[in-house]
Amino acid sequence: MPANSKYLNPSFWPRFSKITAAILGGYFVSVTFHLALASWLNRANVLITMAFSGFILWVALMIIAFLAKSGWKIWAIYILLSLLFCLFIYLGQTFNTAQ
């Protein structure tokens, strides 16, 4: 049974934005989240745990990207989350190295 044509998007750019948001955007959010945790908590423990939890988070973010209506909106959300986590990384490295 073929897919219903009303759910298929024949245009290239919406498909491309969802695929790149799922792969690249999800990866960036996953890595920056774990690096932000590592800058505030025990670095070795967080980075070892990242080998497993990072992959699970990345897959969850991939699924969310494909469930979203617009690939560009999910890109914007992923970029904002990555920038927020980068701010936490910066603050964590600034305050934790001064002590």
pLDDT in tens, 12-28: 888 899 999 999 999 99
pLDDT value, residue 31: 95
Q: Cα separation of 82 and 72, whole Å?
A: 15
Backbone angles phi, psi at 59, to 5 degrees: -65, -40
pTM for this structure?
0.84
Query: What tens digit of pLDDT does each residue of 26-60 get?
Result: 999 999 999 999 999 988 898 898 889 999 999 99
